[in-house]
Amino acid sequence: MLAERMKYNLYTGRHPTSHFWRTYDRQEIDLVEDYAGQLTAAEMKWSPRSTPRVPGGWRNAYPESAFQVVHPGNYLGFVTGDGERSS
């Protein structure tokens, strides 16, 4: 999914800065994109029933950021940029 997202960004002329985020106490986010001053965090899960919460450290540090969970049921929107601002 990450490779497809990177291809989407390239093909559409979007050039976000991409990172992963992890703390010393093992809170983590799989992908963070910084585009035009807006942070978007994406957590990848295999099961659509998995409902991870926004890590507290992330929420406290970046309260204005968007957060989304990506799974096989909604990955196409993530890959193509539809549904960008999920929280």
Domains of the chain in sequence order: 2-80 (3.40.1350)
Q: How far is CA 4 from each of CA 37, 67, 78, 84, 87, rounded to the nearest angstrom?
A: 22, 19, 9, 15, 21
For residue 78, the model assigns a pLDDT of 87
> Span 48-58, mean pLDDT?
86
Q: What is the pTM of this model?
A: 0.80
pLDDT in tens, 7-46: 999 999 989 999 999 999 999 999 999 999 999 999 999 8
